[in-house]
Amino acid sequence: MPRITVTVDGVTYEEEVEPRLLLVHLLRDRLGRTGTPIGCDTSNCGACTVMLDGRSAKSCSVLAVQADGSDVVTVEGLAQGNEWHPMQKAFHTEHALQCGYCTPGMIMAAIDLLRDDPDPSEEAVRRGLEGNLCRCTGYCTIVRAVRRGAAEMSKAREPQEVPAP
């Protein structure tokens, strides 16, 4: 069986994998990252979205062997210690979930969207997240959360004022 090396949420793993094993199954069943759910078997829902080498990817449509040598970040790797990522906070603040099944994928896709458009309009958010489906919320709170998360992330990037001596 092929042997792969993959870094997930900052931890490097060496695994022997069947060539047909999907990345999402490696993450969930072998590496315990059950925060990444499976919502369909057609690559449609986006629930399984993770970051693969810095860009969002549906982990149900990537083979584990294709991730050999890659850096994967799941929703479980976003927080810094006890501090949630600003996008996680924004989803919480805006109540942008009901059952929560789509939430990990939405958050990962949202973070990726902001890489290309740090201050997206409502329309840009809707367009950017069209690969992620939610059957509960009607999307309004999700769109608000992504825009709030964007604002928080851009605030965090602003240079901090240095107090006068």
Residue with Cβ nearer ligand FES (1 or 99): 99
CB of 79 to ligand FES, least distance (A): 20
Residue 70 vs 137, nearer CB to ligand FES: 137
List residues binding ligand FES (CB under 6 A).
Answer: 38-40, 43-48, 58, 60, 97-102, 134-137
Rounded to a whole number of angstroms, the minimum distance from the CB of residue 3 to ligand FES is 25
The Cα 50–Cα 48 span in angstroms is 6
Between 66 and 98, name the residue whose CB sits nearer to ligand FES.
98
32 in Cβ contact with 25 (< 8 Å): no
Ramachandran bin of 69, using left for φ above 0, alpha for ψ from -120 to 50, beta for the remaining angles: left
The CA distance from 33 to 25, in Å, is 9
Distances (CA, A) of 93 to 37, 41, 57, 153: 22, 31, 26, 15
What is the closest distance, in whole angstroms, from the C-beta atom of residue 149 to ligand FES in the complex? 16
Do residues 61 and 47 make contact, with C-beta atoms less than 8 angstroms apart? no
CA angle 50, 54, 60 (to 5 degrees): 30
Pick between residue 56 and residue 137 the one whose CB is nearest to ligand FES: 137
Nearer to ligand FES, 32 or 118 (CB): 32
